[in-house]
Amino acid sequence: MEKHHKFSIWYVVLGIWVVLLIHNYLVSVLAIHTIPYSEFLNLVKENKVTEVAISENQIQGRMVTGTSSQEKGEAFKTVRVDPEISALLDQHDIIFKGEIESTFLRSLFSWVFPLLLFFGVWYFLMKRMTGQQPGFMTLGKNRAKIYVEDDLNVRFEDAAGVDEAKQELMEVIEFLKEPAKFTELGGKMPRGILLVGAPGTGKTLLAKAVAGESHVPFFSMSGSEFVEMFVGLGAARVRDLFVQAKQKAPCIIFIDELDALGKARGMSGIGGHDEREQTLNQLLVEMDGFDPQVGVILMAATNRPEILDPALLRPGRFDRNILVDRPDKKGREEILKVHLKKIKASKNLDLATLAGMTPGMVGADLANLVNEAALLAVRRKKKTVGMSEFEEAVERVMAGLEKKNRLINPREKEIVAYHELGHATVALSLPGTDPVQKISIIPRGIAALGYTMQVPTEDRFLMSKTELLNKIATLLGGRAAEEIVFEDISTGAHNDLAKATDIARSMVKEYGMSDKIGHVYFAREKRSPFLDTYMNTGGDYSEAIAELIDQEVKEIINVQYAKAKTILKEKRGLLDKAAKILLEKEKIDGEDLKALMEESVKGKEAGQS
């Protein structure tokens, strides 16, 4: 938008200069001598004054002096002193008249021009900030800010290394292609789809690809744009967006940076942020109000789902989350392939090696890398982009990234690998734990360096004491593995410890699962509806009980930690084998790990007999 109205401070400077020029010109043309009143009286007595104009405060006129070149006489003015002058004037036959002072020119210069100038500056600034014709009537209708793209030519094959996310989005495409047919068959569409993932992983790209594949219009807005400086404007924009989208259904509405707008209400500190809350409320109202049959699909992207207002995530709103993860080595190779199509690459590029050199990079970084390599090739006057350009580009992009977000070093990677395998191995060895789906050590953010994904097999309402204990052991498995392998422990486990302690405390205080304390309920705390912390309202139990609770919690943790350690010591061989694979591939499937484990158990049995 800035292309159209490029605003320059030089317009203002030029404007001021022109005004000053005109002003100076007028002053010089209208130059009038100011003479003392007594001299005026003398001139009158000497019959040298030809005419005067008398106003309330001053007298202007013309006089004939010896040096005067003008035939009508030289202009003069004097501040009026004596109102009863007419008699004298009469005596000497001077034409005289009263006059109402004209302040037109003076006021023009003293305030009309500055005011115009001020509005001019305001106009240009507004235009530049919003890309809009400013005006009070059009404030709520900032249509230009809603970007509609009609037939996008982005396709699914443009986004690589995100197969799981693509799979989940396939259904949406089917729906958008033929909403009527889809609903006839009883299919129910989610209203809101939330794409969760680090910046640059391709969330926007995927949303666009969905629109492109299903040939529907794509409305996009950024959450931060909704939050306007005028209260009420953001809400008006949301309304406008939905009105426009409904007219063009089937279509996709995409809100980038949902967290900028959807931060939990009441989280913004003193007084809150009225404007953002209003906008968020409007969004909730619109989401509840629209009929999904119309064929409007709302998609949003965020990299901080944890700070979103829980109201946004309720059923019927953004109830489907799709993880757009950082790509693993294989994924990076595929992304590189996509972007290499756009340049003239040498035939003997080793993509697998390149992918191995770029741990932690996301799609946007890889696109940047390819571009950087192409630029290098141009500078070196090569015909095709070769491996040496890519190697140098990796160094450059990495150096930039290292400043931005740390990439883990090999030693850290090893610790993370063993840590995650510790969780997985304990989980696989104990009954009643959720099956391990996959383990990944692709760095994702600051809190979690790697993760072990466990999916519950069914929705659970009841859990037995043994299951809870096994869950604690699984959580502690990460740290236990670190201790066994490296004989040292790291800070990487603090989240696990917090979760394990939480469960243990609940077992003791809420579920009556401690023998020493018995079947008593001691939890008198309220969960804050917004924050995931406890607001302690003070327990109604004695100091002695409090001490006992702490002891019991510690006991549970200690026993489970010992249990995890025993399991892992026994399976040290498996740990090492799996760690090697994980370090190489950055990702390992639960099934593969299980197979590996069964293999090693068999091997051991064979060795013993």
Query: How many residues are there in the chain?
Result: 609
Task: Kindly write down the DSSP assignment for every residue of 514-577, as one continuous string.
Answer: -TTT-S------EE-SSSSSEE----SS-HHHHHHHHHHHHHHHHHHHHHHHHHHHHTHHHHHH
How far is Cα 443 from Cα 545, in angstroms, rounded to an integer?
A: 43
Q: Which two tokens stand for residue 161?
A: 């290394």
Strand ordering across the sheet containing 218-222:
147-149, 218-222, 251-256, 296-302, 192-196, 320-323
Of 213, 420, 552, 586, catalytic:
420
Is the Cβ of residue 190 or residue 202 nearer to ligand ADP in the bound state?
A: 202
How far is Cα 501 from Cα 553, in angstroms, rounded to an integer?
A: 7
Distances in whole angstroms, Cα of residue 36 to Cα of each of 59, 75, 291 = 11, 14, 85
Per-position x/- string for 81-120, each x denoting binding to Zn ion as judged by CB under 5 A, each - no binding: ----------------------------------------
Site for Zn ion in 424-483 (CB under 5 A): 478
Per-position x/- string for 476-505, each x denoting binding to Zn ion as judged by CB under 5 A, each - no binding: --x-----------------x---------
Residue 490 C-beta: closest distance to Zn ion, Å: 10
Could you tell which of ligand ADP, Zn ion, none binds residue 408, using a CB distance below 5 to 8 A set by kind?
none
DSSP state for residue 53 in the 8-state scheme: E
Query: Nearest Cα to 422, choosing from 560, 525, 532, 302?
Result: 560
Is the Cβ of residue 367 or residue 568 nearer to Zn ion in the bound state?
A: 568
Residue 457 C-beta: closest distance to ligand ADP, Å: 30
Could you tell which of ligand ADP, Zn ion, none binds residue 441, using a CB distance below 5 to 8 A set by kind?
none
Is the Cβ of residue 298 or residue 597 nearer to ligand ADP in the bound state?
A: 298
Could you tell which of Zn ion, ligand ADP, none binds residue 496, using a CB distance below 5 to 8 A set by kind?
Zn ion
Residue 368 C-beta: closest distance to ligand ADP, Å: 8
Closest residue to Zn ion using C-beta atoms: 478
Is the Cβ of residue 235 or residue 335 nearer to ligand ADP in the bound state?
A: 335
Is the Cβ of residue 75 or residue 323 nearer to ligand ADP in the bound state?
A: 323
Could you tell which of Zn ion, ligand ADP, none binds residue 159, using a CB distance below 5 to 8 A set by kind?
ligand ADP
Q: Which two tokens stand for residue 576?
A: 């090492």
- Binding interface with ligand ADP (CB under 6 A): 159-162, 197, 199-205, 301, 335, 338, 363-364, 367
Site for Zn ion in 269-298 (CB under 5 A): none
Is the Cβ of residue 173 or residue 469 nearer to ligand ADP in the bound state?
A: 173
Is the Cβ of residue 12 or residue 364 nearer to ligand ADP in the bound state?
A: 364
Could you tell which of ligand ADP, Zn ion, none binds residue 295, using a CB distance below 5 to 8 A set by kind?
none
- The footprint of Zn ion on this chain (CB under 5 A) covers a number of residues equal to 2
Is the Cβ of residue 121 or residue 148 nearer to ligand ADP in the bound state?
A: 148
How far is Cα 226 from Cα 220, in angstroms, rounded to an integer?
A: 11
Distances in whole angstroms, Cα of residue 547 to Cα of each of 516, 542, 554 = 12, 9, 11
Is the Cβ of residue 35 or residue 323 nearer to ligand ADP in the bound state?
A: 323
Task: Kindly write down the DSSP assignment for every residue of 388-403, as one continuous string.
Answer: HHHHHHHHHHHHHHHH
Could you tell which of ligand ADP, Zn ion, none binds residue 202, using a CB distance below 5 to 8 A set by kind?
ligand ADP
Is 259 a binding residue for Zn ion by CB under 5 A? The answer is no
Residue 383 C-beta: closest distance to ligand ADP, Å: 25
Closest residue to ligand ADP using C-beta atoms: 363
Instruction: Say whether 318 sits in a helix, a strand or coil.
Output: coil
- Asked if 101 contacts 55 with a C-beta cutoff of 8 angstroms, the reply is yes
How far is Cα 104 from Cα 166, in angstroms, rounded to an integer?
A: 71
Could you tell which of Zn ion, ligand ADP, none binds residue 359, using a CB distance below 5 to 8 A set by kind?
none
Is the Cβ of residue 225 or residue 277 nearer to ligand ADP in the bound state?
A: 225
Distances in whole angstroms, Cα of residue 148 to Cα of each of 289, 352, 465 = 22, 38, 55
Could you tell which of ligand ADP, Zn ion, none binds residue 204, using a CB distance below 5 to 8 A set by kind?
ligand ADP
Q: What angle do CA 300, 301, 304 make, to 5 degrees?
A: 130
Question: Is 56 a known active-site residue?
Answer: no
Residue 475 C-beta: closest distance to Zn ion, Å: 7
Residue 496 C-beta: closest distance to Zn ion, Å: 4
How far is Cα 97 from Cα 262, in angstroms, rounded to an integer?
A: 74
β-sheet bridge partners, residue 320: 193
Residues 6+ apart with CB under 8 A from 201: 162, 324, 325, 326, 327, 362, 363, 364
Q: Which amino acid is at 597?
A: M
Instruction: Say whether 193 sits in a helix, a strand or coil.
Output: strand
Could you tell which of Zn ion, ligand ADP, none binds residue 478, using a CB distance below 5 to 8 A set by kind?
Zn ion
Q: What angle do CA 393, 396, 400 make, to 5 degrees?
A: 140
Distances in whole angstroms, Cα of residue 460 to Cα of each of 45, 424, 432, 456 = 115, 20, 12, 8
Residues marked as catalytic: 420
Instruction: Catalog residues that contact Zn ion under the rule CB under 5 A.
Output: 478, 496
